[in-house]
Structure 1
Amino acid sequence: MPSVAEGVKIGIQECQHQFRGRRWNCTTINDNLAIFGPVLDKVVEYGSAEHHQCSPVQPQDYDLIHEGYDHSDTHNGKQPDALHDPQCPTGEVAMTEDMYLGSITTRESAFVHAIASAGVAFAVTRSCAEGSATICGCDTRHKGAPGEGWKWGGCSEDAEFGSMVSREFADARENRPDARSAMNRHNNEAGRTSINDHLHLKCKCHGLSGSCEVKTCWWSQPDFRVIGDYLKDKYDSASEMVVEKHRESRGWVETLRPKYTFFKPPTERDLVYYESSPNFCEPNTETGSFGTRDRICNVTSHGIDGCDLLCCGRGHNTRTEKRKEKCHCIFHWCCYVSCQECVRIYDVHTCK
């Protein structure tokens, strides 16, 4: 489904932005070692039969269809288009083992699951508001009493429906009674919750000559950068957990509890992990690390993007690079800008 694929790509792009100056920079499917790659591979290979495994989805799972939808026309007992796959029997969706990150349970994995889940919820919600999907539309539930000087109008974005689709997409295989599944489900939900938490009122003025005689408002998602910044903060403050085993009627079950009891326990909005991160200095096929060799570093920075830290103490190389740029631009009345082309020389520093 295009909006699901777009959502994962949005998540990847935001992950790359947030970690652009770190040793782990959210490397993607351009290489086989990618830690984020399996998530996108699942979407890219969506039309390939050998990559499919179908998971059952029960009709009651779609009872989240909100007031305002015409059930006789748009629901009709069928699963949403966002989940339908022609290669799967009716009532099932395509899933693959490669969707997730193997046995990795670090805070990087926590962020990946959260940002990918949020990206899917974001893209599906936007697709509904734009009228691109047939099963959903605007959210008509959150009306309430308007504020002074404005009234409800426009198309409020249905983040709850987007979260439902994201939940079916991301959580369908996370039903095992082990700690990794519990961790992934928690972080997926934290990502989706961030979308709902950041809905805000957006308003438009109507009137003659730009006046604001009438103002209509609706619920809107923020720019996804806001979500990325928020989840990056959650990554930095992620809660370390420990695994506990106990027996239930279905057998041995693994659960998670905070490692440090003197800290406030994590909420549904926090990210959790239970394995320490590698240093990502050297290539490692198990962790998806490419290492930092040949990465561009900032020779003047004392932070994580600086050559000392990013290069893991190996030192750095420096080369000169010529770049053509527009310069000496002049505005001419009326109305165009003319520029000259200049060649400038820059020093580029890369890790050894």
Structure 2
Amino acid sequence: MAPLGYFFLLCALEQALGSYPIWWSLAIGPQYSSLATQPILCASIPGLVPKQLRFCRNYVEIMPSVAEGVKISIQECQHQFRGRRWNCTTVNGSLAIFGPVLDKATRESAFVHAIASAGVAFAVTRSCAEGAAAICGCSNRHQGSPGEGWKWGGCSEDIEFGGMVSREFADARENRPDARSAMNRHNNEAGRQAIAGQARLKCKCHGLSGSCEVKTCWRAQPDFRAVGDALKDKYDSASEMAVERHREARGWVETLRPRHARFKAPTERDLVYFDASPDFCEPDARTGSFGTRGRACNASSAGIDGCDLLCCGRGHDARTERRRDKCRCVFHWCCYVSCQECPRLYDVHTCK
């Protein structure tokens, strides 16, 4: 039996972290890149619940892909929000890699859960198609009959398997009967649907001199940038929900319903939230806001990346920077390009 003090420590940790999926920290640091050859590392990944730990031990060869999926989701999040007050900043040296910003059930939390779930599904699917794991590979579940002039061939990516891995691993912690778990499950699934909904055919021509008399086609994932773009659109149109509490046989259960009845109810592909976001204008340790002072802004834009909105009305500073850029590039046969470096002046605007 564990010492009583250890039990209270675990309880305090669980309360402090709430539903925060600190397993996202497996994307930080090189120590998890060798998961496939060192199964013992499963036990060292912080924040795994028992179901995730069992999954890791049973499918350790795809865990590097899970880590890669979290990495690409963080990169995509930072790309999508690069011009916004909250720019998906990560916190060094913290298991909660986004800091307290995800403690609340906001639009930002909804997007991060969706993109992380999508990232895991995407990376696992791609890894399987590349033959990196023995337990998965190409899909033989074709969608419909071949069309005129083409036939099924190549390696159709097993999007269903990638989605299953994401569902089993990313959703494992979201099993509590509270509103936040319900929200996280919904947004995780919306992330996976962003991939499945944009799957497309890729084809290769066959015939004399590239005549394309016959094409072989296979089912492929979209580019992950397209997934990020789709989820960013869902973030902008996310549905605000209200929390309802009712009693069932297993006890009190919280569910979500649309806060505004005049709006269409969200589908499984929409993002949902129920807490208002902070304005992210000033640093605030409680909300995880870093503020926008010193951030570069676009003086010619009237959008959120413009100096008026990004700087929250505080104004901005302007300066000129001299940079050296490649110029007068020449292609040499065969086969390289040579360039000179030319000085160039840039106007730089930063928030006060």
Pairwise TM-score range, normalised by the shorter structure: 0.7 to 0.9
Equivalences for residues 290-329 of structure 1 within 5 A: 290-329=290-329
The aligned counterpart of 1:246 is 246
Query: 1:105 deviation in Å?
Result: 0.2
TM-score, normalised relative to structure 2: 0.78
1:121-140 deviation per Cα after TM superposition (whole angstroms, max 9, x unaligned): 01101111111111111110
- 1:163 maps to a residue whose letter is G
Query: 1:32 deviation in Å?
Result: 4.9
The aligned counterpart of 1:7 is 69
Partner Cα distance (1:102, 1:346) in 2: 36
Q: Is the 8 A contact 1:240 1:272 kept in 2?
A: yes
Label 1:33 to 1:135 Cα distance change in 2 as closer, same or farther (>3 A).
Answer: closer
Which secondary structure state, in structure 1, belongs to the residue aligned with residue 155 of structure 2?
A: coil
Which secondary structure state, in structure 1, belongs to the residue aligned with residue 209 of structure 2?
A: helix
Which has a greater percent of helix?
2
Q: Which runs of 4+ in 1 moved over 6 A?
A: none
Name stretches of at least 5 consecutive residues in structure 1 with no aligned partner.
Answer: 39-100
- 1:17 matched to 2:82? The reply is no
CA RMSD in angstroms, aligned pairs only: 1.9
Q: Is the 8 A contact 1:299 1:306 kept in 2?
A: yes
Count of matched residue positions in the alignment of Structure 1 and Structure 2:
290
- 1:261 matched to 2:289? The reply is no
The aligned counterpart of 2:163 is 163
- 1:234 maps to a residue whose letter is K
Query: 1:209 deviation in Å?
Result: 1.8
Partner Cα distance (2:276, 2:283) in 1: 17
Relative CO higher for 1 or 2, CA cutoff 8 Å, sep ≥ 6? 1
The aligned counterpart of 1:103 is 103
Which secondary structure state, in structure 2, belongs to the residue aligned with residue 218 of structure 1?
A: strand
| % same residue | 80
Label 1:34 to 1:253 Cα distance change in 2 as closer, same or farther (>3 A).
Answer: closer
Which secondary structure state, in structure 2, belongs to the residue aligned with residue 141 of structure 1?
A: coil
Equivalences for residues 29-68 of structure 1 within 5 A: 29-30=91-92, 32=94, 36=98
Equivalences for residues 1-352 of structure 1 within 5 A: 1-30=63-92, 32=94, 36=98, 103-142=103-142, 144-332=144-332, 336-352=336-352
- 1:5 maps to a residue whose letter is A
TM-score, normalised relative to structure 1: 0.78
The aligned counterpart of 2:27 is none
1:172-199 deviation per Cα after TM superposition (whole angstroms, max 9, x unaligned): 1111111000000000011111111111
The 10-residue stretch of structure 1 (248-257 or 319-328) with the greater mean CA deviation from structure 2 = 319-328
- 1:7 maps to a residue whose letter is G
Which secondary structure state, in structure 2, belongs to the residue aligned with residue 319 of structure 1?
A: strand
Name stretches of at least 5 consecutive residues in structure 2 with no aligned partner.
Answer: 1-62
Partner Cα distance (2:266, 2:258) in 1: 8
1:190-234 deviation per Cα after TM superposition (whole angstroms, max 9, x unaligned): 111111111111100122222212210010001111111111111
Which secondary structure state, in structure 2, belongs to the residue aligned with residue 13 of structure 1?
A: helix
